[in-house]
Amino acid sequence: MGGEDRGESMGKKPATYADLEALPEHVVGEIVAGELYASPRPVLRHTAVTSRLGGELGGLFDRGRGGPGGWLILDKPELHLGRDVLVPDLAAWRRERMPRILDVAAFTLAPDWVCEVLSPSTRTLDREAKLPVYAREGVRHVWLMDPLSLTLEVFALMDGRYTALLTHTGTTPVRAVPFDAVALDLPFIWDAQ
């Protein structure tokens, strides 16, 4: 499977959770608008960007060490949003909406923020299929990060649609909502030190 696998086409039934469970372990499965998407596990650069961003935000905004706290930040949570099953690279909930980690396999409460780290095999899925679901579910902030072009795009939900607030390219530190209380160390995150 070199990229996305669309499970629904003319005459096929919408994908089910059983279809996700039947996928091999080396892929990440999601269902968006009845279609099954099977993406290869991310390459190491993608994984490093996700891990480093999560580490940077986690200490400051989840634990409150040197930052304001007030968030629950998770790597690759499974989100069940209506009939859609999404797995963002990172997601965060404000503590007033989710005060503690629940002992569940998947979340039905939409996060307040998601970050998708783009890769060639998921770029279209992340931009065209998943963003409308996040908007429908009221996810207030979305970041799209491209480790190849060193680009961070920041979106805010306004009147049911995402508005681009910032497109930052390069390795200089940047402040980006909703985590703009602290500048992100992009050279470290991009591994461009």
Task: Please give the angle made by the CA atoms of 165, 185 and 71, to the nearest 5 degrees.
Answer: 70
Domains in the chain: ranges and CATH: 42-190 (3.90.1570.10)
| pLDDT > 90 fraction of the chain, expressed in percent and rounded | 78
- pLDDT tens digits, 146-156: 999 999 999 99
- pLDDT tens digits, 66-108: 889 999 999 999 999 999 999 999 999 999 999 888 899 999 9
Length in residues, the chain: 193
β-strand pairing of 141-146 with 113-117: parallel
- Classify burial at 163, counting beta carbons within 10 Å of its beta carbon; exposed 0-12, middle 13-18, buried 19 or more: exposed
DSSP per residue over 94-122, as a string?
Answer: ETTT--S--S-SSB-SPPSEEEEE--TTT
Calculate mean pLDDT across residues 164-173: 96
pTM for the structure as a whole: 0.89
- CA-CA distances (angstroms) from residue 127 to 72, 123, 133? 24, 6, 10
| Cis peptide bond N-terminal to 132, omega within 30 | no
Highest mean predicted confidence (pLDDT) among 25-29, 109-113, 119-123: 109-113
Q: What is the pLDDT of residue 5?
A: 41
